[in-house]
Structure 1
Amino acid sequence: MRSLRSVLILVLFSGSLLAQRSTPPTSPYLSETPPGLTPSVFAPGKVSLNDHYEYGSVFSNDGREFYYAVIINQKPQIRGIRYENKGWSAPKTVIGSDQYEYNDPFLSPDGKRLYFISDQAADGRGPRKDFDIWYLERQKDGWSDRPINAGEAINTGKNEYYMSFTKDGTMYFSSNGGTSPATDKNYDIRFSRFVKGRFKPSQKLPNTVNTDHYEADVFVSPNEDYIIFCAERPDGYGQGDLYISFKSKSGQWQAAKNMGTVINTDAYEFCPFVSRDGKYLFFSRSGDLFWVKAQVIDTLR
């Protein structure tokens, strides 16, 4: 499925349309105690469970919705939690299947689409295929019940993984499209501009970011001034590390650097996400979700 990540990580959620309001003032982030500059497990016993493998998380812009992936019966599914009736709901399945995998959830900038990746057949009934990027549309009574493929400007005949967005709708994601059987573990980070309601053909980031190794799971800041991504490189601290690249004043992506031992261990770090308020960096490690003050990003500039 996902290079070394594949070794580590082997219905629909309905509800009323939430008004765009500020983060719950008395209980943000699932009422969890905020972390410091050392990563800690996010929502232990509530989201990060000892007997489940959780990864890939995102909060809505208003902080009132939280989505993440979890493996159930060897199949990843997407779960959601909402702030409603002055409290946080229990996790509920957004989309899952005994046949297909659904993971890497991420919301569009306007919150009207829930994107994810899946190996489901185009018609939702046939055999599993390669991983594409799909989405559900928000409706008055919850999410739509049939995934929509993000289209050929994004998806190829191979795998597309983990997407994120700038505030103008540009999608960043990774793909091994165009590789040969000998190089199909070489995933690269790409981007696609969103123009007049459609994605333009994607472009690959330069070699200051992409190498001959695996680069994936990219988070792009809303202002498109930095990206954080997972890479499997010989100079890393573990099986997969988080790297960061900042954009120069002239608009060029600078050489990516390892985020260091504050973040990376001898385990596998992946699926980064920075909260909309810019306060916290979330990521995944060893079957749990972690979070840390986003000040760690500033120390790397």
Structure 2
Amino acid sequence: MTGFQTGISLLLIFSGTLHAQLTTPYLNQNPPGMVPSIFAPDLVSLKDHYEYGSVFSSDGTEFYYAVIINKKPQIRCIRFEKNAWTAPKIVIGSDQYEYNDPFLSPDEKRLYFISDRAVDGKGEKKDFDIWYIERRKNGWSTVPVNAGPGINTSKNEYYMSFTKTGTMYFSSNGGSDQSTDKKYDIRFSRYARGKFQPSRSLPSTINTEHYEADVFVSPDEQYVIFCAERPDGFGKGDLYISFKSKTGEWQKAKNMGSVINSDAYEFCPFITTDGKYLFFSRDGDIFWVKAAVLDGLK
């Protein structure tokens, strides 16, 4: 076979794989409309399990989510390999510690999550910190790395997401008196010189005296979606959204309405990289809906 023929053969193989990816996206699920529906009910959102906190890789070939097993959350992944979706596989889990809220770094070389693991991974569980593992040629590293003092405090840090420049948005009750306090605020930390810089709180248009957490920031940093427990909500916890003004200020957050929120608990929002779908969690299942629902909220 000539070099030219070899090149053509490789191109055909690549094209076939790409075609398979394009024709079986999102775990080969029927896409939702403008009303949220349960995502992958026979594969991910199972009746006898509690699933939440999901994220797709930018190319759509990896899906990460958390599931509670024996009262301990673990992180699982479903991959598109050899023209098919794999069964869910455990990425990280433990009988002693909790691992949840997975999210990929902008370059997808790190998988971030929260955990109550001891710093040395051996002692008694502690408060929740943000950690990460690194992508290797043969999979993910096995020893988590703490995200550092620019992010983590002696209290709890929850659910992170990133701008395209690497700024992390997350929530923390680090400013409260006790780790059990419900006074969580949304914060952000710029990534510079190889580490996260001391975090800063978002303004009062977003943070209130109530619980604000589980923040998704758009990669261009033009809006945030987050979970809040407020007396004007539809249920125990609702999703809210804030857009930046033309001059760069965060506008007053608004409830995303009854199409998204219910009398249950909505949390863990995520917008897919292609901008097509909003994923979120509700009382033990993962839901998705067309991201066009955001258009009427601006």
Measured against the shorter chain, the TM-score band is over 0.9
Paired position in structure 1 for 2:192: 195
Looking at structure 2, the residues matched to 182 and 82 of structure 1 have their Cα atoms a distance apart, in angstroms, of: 36
Looking at structure 2, the residues matched to 161 and 29 of structure 1 have their Cα atoms a distance apart, in angstroms, of: 26
Looking at structure 1, the residues matched to 208 and 97 of structure 2 have their Cα atoms a distance apart, in angstroms, of: 31
Looking at structure 1, the residues matched to 179 and 93 of structure 2 have their Cα atoms a distance apart, in angstroms, of: 32
C-alpha displacement at 1:195, in angstroms?
1.2
Paired position in structure 2 for 1:84: 81
Paired position in structure 2 for 1:120: 117
2:22 to 18, 21, 25: 25
Paired position in structure 2 for 1:11: none
Q: Is the 8 A contact 2:130 2:152 kept in 1?
A: yes
C-alpha displacement at 1:262, in angstroms?
0.3
Cα distance per residue 1:61-91 (max 9 Å; x no partner): 1111000000000000000010000010000
C-alpha displacement at 1:264, in angstroms?
0.2
Please tell me whether residue 162 in structure 1 is matched to residue 159 in structure 2.
yes
Looking at structure 1, the residues matched to 129 and 166 of structure 2 have their Cα atoms a distance apart, in angstroms, of: 18
Cα distance per residue 1:143-178 (max 9 Å; x no partner): 001000000000000000000000000000000002
Looking at structure 2, the residues matched to 233 and 180 of structure 1 have their Cα atoms a distance apart, in angstroms, of: 21
C-alpha displacement at 1:138, in angstroms?
0.3
C-alpha displacement at 1:142, in angstroms?
0.3
1:228 to 222, 225, 228: 225
Q: Is the 8 A contact 1:22 1:63 kept in 2?
A: no
Q: Is the 8 A contact 2:20 2:83 kept in 1?
A: no
2:264 to 267, 279, 287: 267
Cα distance per residue 1:73-112 (max 9 Å; x no partner): 0000000010000010000000000000000000000000
Looking at structure 1, the residues matched to 109 and 210 of structure 2 have their Cα atoms a distance apart, in angstroms, of: 34
C-alpha displacement at 1:181, in angstroms?
3.6
Cα distance per residue 1:3-41 (max 9 Å; x no partner): xxxxxxxxxxxxxxxxxx899211000000000000000
Where 1:291 maps in the other structure, the secondary structure is strand
C-alpha displacement at 1:197, in angstroms?
2.0
Paired position in structure 2 for 1:178: 175
Shifted more, 175-184 versus 51-60: the winner is: 175-184
C-alpha displacement at 1:286, in angstroms?
1.4
Where 1:83 maps in the other structure, the secondary structure is strand
Looking at structure 2, the residues matched to 22 and 59 of structure 1 have their Cα atoms a distance apart, in angstroms, of: 19
Please tell me whether residue 38 in structure 1 is matched to residue 35 in structure 2.
yes
Higher helix share: 2
Looking at structure 1, the residues matched to 284 and 119 of structure 2 have their Cα atoms a distance apart, in angstroms, of: 29
Paired position in structure 1 for 2:144: 147
Paired position in structure 1 for 2:95: 98
What letter is aligned with 1:64? Answer: T
Structure 1 spans left out of the alignment, 5+ residues? 1-20
Looking at structure 2, the residues matched to 128 and 198 of structure 1 have their Cα atoms a distance apart, in angstroms, of: 25
Structure number with larger C-alpha Rg: 2
Looking at structure 1, the residues matched to 134 and 231 of structure 2 have their Cα atoms a distance apart, in angstroms, of: 40
Check 1:223–1:263 CA distance in 2 against 1; reply closer, same or farther (3 A cut).
same
Please tell me whether residue 276 in structure 1 is matched to residue 265 in structure 2.
no
Where 2:293 maps in the other structure, the secondary structure is helix
Q: Is the 8 A contact 1:23 1:64 kept in 2?
A: no
Q: Is the 8 A contact 1:22 1:62 kept in 2?
A: no
